[in-house]
Amino acid sequence: MKHYLEKLISREDLSFEEMKGATKYCLSEESTDSEIAALLTALQAKGETADEIAGIVDVIRSESTFSIPPIPGAIDNCGTGGDKSYSFNISTTSAFVMAGAGITVAKHGNRSITSKSGSADVLEALGVSLTLSIAHVEELLHENKIAFLFAPNVHHALKPFTKVRKDLGIATVFNVIGPLTNPISLDSQLLGVYRKDMLEMLAESLQKLGRRRAVVLNGAGNMDEATLAGENHLVLLDNGELTSFTLRPEDVGLPYFSKDEIRGGNAVENAEILQNVLKGKKGAYYDTVLLNAGVGIFTNGKAETILDGIDIARESIESGAALSKLENLIEYSKKIPSEVH
């Protein structure tokens, strides 16, 4: 660890393998809180690279208690959080729309950290179990096209980092990598980040982690979701090639809505918003979900353009398919014991 810390303090980058070695050491019984804190702080001060992010994520995923055979075409859509916009649960709502369009969505998430309601909070308010076993998740992904993986249930080995992060109380690499640590072997991924300067670097990290196709985006107003408040910045990863582009509401025939018009509330309030959107209630929430689900469907490759993706997303909602995915998940949750096997 001393070697790794000396390199970071000298503002030298760690290689993919060096970062894996440092992470494995942090998760071992030999490490101390001081060493873990020093690593996280030095990384943050230097600025993380794609190799460093991919290295730490690779170890976290390998340590996960969840191991499911790869599911062709599986995707996750999630923002890193941290944009402090207090928006409703955009990506969680969009996930059901994508599933309703026939795409397998392995939704990985956690409770709220910087907002009033994280994905786990709103799903729990809806009656979705957060303690699904590996067998439950696998069955749901095959039969319902969507399941939720509650991060603390699939990453038990991260306790050393969790304690130190709480003690430090500052932003670290963990404020960015959460969505990348999904233990399911994803074919594609839609990742939102509140920092525009991290778009290409995160896209490169996803490539190193084996994503065939991905979109990393920074929403108008530096949100970690696509918004209708102005210009969104996106980077597409497609079979190793990176392409940067911008997206405005008028580009896809959607109206302008300010960030204030998509603010959410607590978990119960956001659950109501989510259900209303899936039931087809028009307005800022609905159109924002169309945009994000459309980008997700495009990311997955089911649509050739984002505009086509939005059309598919609209059909998923209007046909009732998206809502049925949520209802199936709630009904399934009622039938299983509230414990992880």
Residue ranges of the binding site for Mg(2+): 91, 224-225
Residues annotated in the binding site for 5-phospho-alpha-D-ribose 1-diphosphate, as ranges?
79, 82-83, 87, 89-92, 107-115, 119
Chain mean position to CA 300: 14
Which residues, at least 6 apart from 201, have a Cβ–Cβ distance to it below 8 Å?
48, 49, 50, 53
The residues with which 78 forms a beta bridge, in sequence order, are 191
If one counts every other C-beta atom within 10 angstroms of the C-beta of residue 293, the result is: 34
User: Strand pairing partners for 234?
Assistant: 217, 245
Dump the DSSP string for 38-102. Answer: HHHHHHHHH---HHHHHHHHHHHHHT-S------TT-EEEEE-------B--HHHHHHHHHHHTT
Tell me the binding residues. 79, 82-83, 87, 89-92, 107-115, 119, 165, 224-225
Determine how many CB atoms are found less than 10 A away from the CB of residue 272: 16
Mark the binding-site residues for anthranilate, compressed into ranges. Answer: 79, 110, 165
CA separation (Å) from 112 to 115, 116, 135, 254?
6, 6, 26, 29
Contact criterion met (CB below 8 Å) for 131 and 339: yes
